[in-house]
Structures are given as C-alpha cells and as structure tokens.
Amino acid sequence: MKRVEKKTSRAERKARRPDEILVAAFEVFAAKGYAATRVEDVAARLGITKGTIYFYFPTKEVLFQETFRHASTSYTDLSTAIGSLRGSTADRIRALLLISYESTANDRKTGELLRLSLAEGIRFPEAVDCYHGRFITPTLAALAALIEQGVKSGEFCQHAAACARDVLASSIFQVAVWRLMFADRTPVDSKALLEAHIDLVMSGLVQRSEPRY
C-alpha cells in the first residue's frame, strides 16, 4: 500500500513545514544577507513557492527574525555540557571551548549567526539580543563559573582571573571571524589556532608563585 511506503504523512509534512522553511531561510539569509535575499530564493531551495512561505510567515522581516531565533535555539546547551566535564578546571575550560568550537566547525551555523548579527544588527537589534542571549551570555557565564572554581581551588591566580573570561571567549570569536572571512581562500587550521590561544592564555592564568609541579 502507498501509505506504508510514504514515510512522511501529509500531516507530518505540514507540521514540519515551518521548520523546513526556517532552515532553508537561514542558509540563504546567512549567505546573502537580509536585503539581498529574495523570498523566492528561500522557496526555491525547498521546491515550493513564495505563497507557501507567506502562509506561515506574514512578512519577510518576520521570517528573518524567526529564522534568526530558530537558528540560535539549536546551539549546544552549555549549561548541561558544563556539568559533564571532568578533570582540572583548566581541562574543563579547554573542553568547554572545544565544544563551542566543534559546534561551530560542524554546522557553521554559529559562525553564520555571528555574521548575520554583525551584518544586520543595526536593522535588527533583536537579532543581536538573541545572539547575545543564546550564545554569548551562556558562554561567558559558563567560563566565569569555571574560572571562579579555579580561583577557589587555587588553580588560578586571583589577579589574572579578573578578566580571563573575556580573553578566553575571544578565542572563539577569533576562530569564527577567521573562518567567516577566509573560509575558502586561506584555509586555516582553526583547531590548532584555538588550542594555541587557550594554551597561551592558560599559562598566564595558572597560579605561579612557586614551582608549578
């Protein structure tokens, strides 16, 4: 019977439509920016027509905002990740930053969100808010929490820890910006760069008044 073969029923399909649209829209918006993206481009990517998109989203502007929100949501939840980390505080920070990196490296979405935030931030402040709330705040909070632990445990020197949070976070931005700008022309070993960054910062962060080991 037909029904058996058909894996996605009409109802299922319908339920997924908005998400499908948001996914497709994200790709186009990320690649071309808001103004240069045509609603039809998004539709074409799904093999549907403009009209269908307008059935789910009232305007292009709303489509953009929902798209941005949707794309931000799927970001790996750091607060759960942080609980499962093991090892010294330094190891856990390193692991945390690598998790961020991986999520960026795998689906590029995080990087593209950064691009969109920067590119469209002036016209869509909510997008920046969203990016900030979903990505930056949790990352900074997680880092801050880990650093505090390190200070308490004596691993980190109090003084350096004060602004270590932002400095560590910058490693993520560095890699993201690097990839956005030179993606296809100057391939960079992002992971090595990230780890070097972490190493250098860490070595300035660890307590050193006496022999370390």
Partner DNA sequence: CATGAATGAGATTTCATTCAT
Partner DNA sequence: CATGAATGAAATCTCATTCAT
Tokens 């999520």 found at: 103
Residue 52 contact partner, candidates DNA, a copy of itself, none, CB within 5 to 8 A by sort of partner: DNA
8 Å CB contact between 113 and 131: yes
Could you tell me the sign of the dihedral formed by the alpha carbons of 17, 18, 23, 25, in that order? positive
Q: Closest Cα partner for 176 from 126, 139, 133, 127?
A: 139
Residues in region 18-47 near DNA by CB under 7 A: 36-40
8 Å CB contact between 94 and 200: no
Which stretch in 45-53, 78-86, 96-104, 164-172 sits in contact with a copy of itself by CB under 8 A? 164-172
Q: Does 55 bind DNA (CB under 7 A)?
A: yes
Q: Judged by CB under 8 A, which of 8, 15, 125, 154 binds a copy of itself?
A: 125
Could you tell me the sign of the dihedral formed by the alpha carbons of 142, 143, 149, 152, in that order? negative
Tokens 């632990």 found at: 149
Q: Judged by CB under 7 A, which of 45, 50, 69, 70 binds DNA?
A: 50
DSSP H or E segment with residue 127:
helix 125-131
Q: Judged by CB under 8 A, which of 46, 81, 85, 201 binds a copy of itself?
A: 201
Q: Judged by CB under 8 A, which of 109, 115, 146, 147 binds a copy of itself?
A: 115
Question: What is the binding site for a copy of itself (CB under 8 A)?
Answer: 31-36, 114-115, 117-123, 125, 128-129, 131-132, 157, 160, 162-164, 166-167, 169-171, 173-174, 177, 180-182, 185-186, 192-193, 196-197, 199-205, 208-213
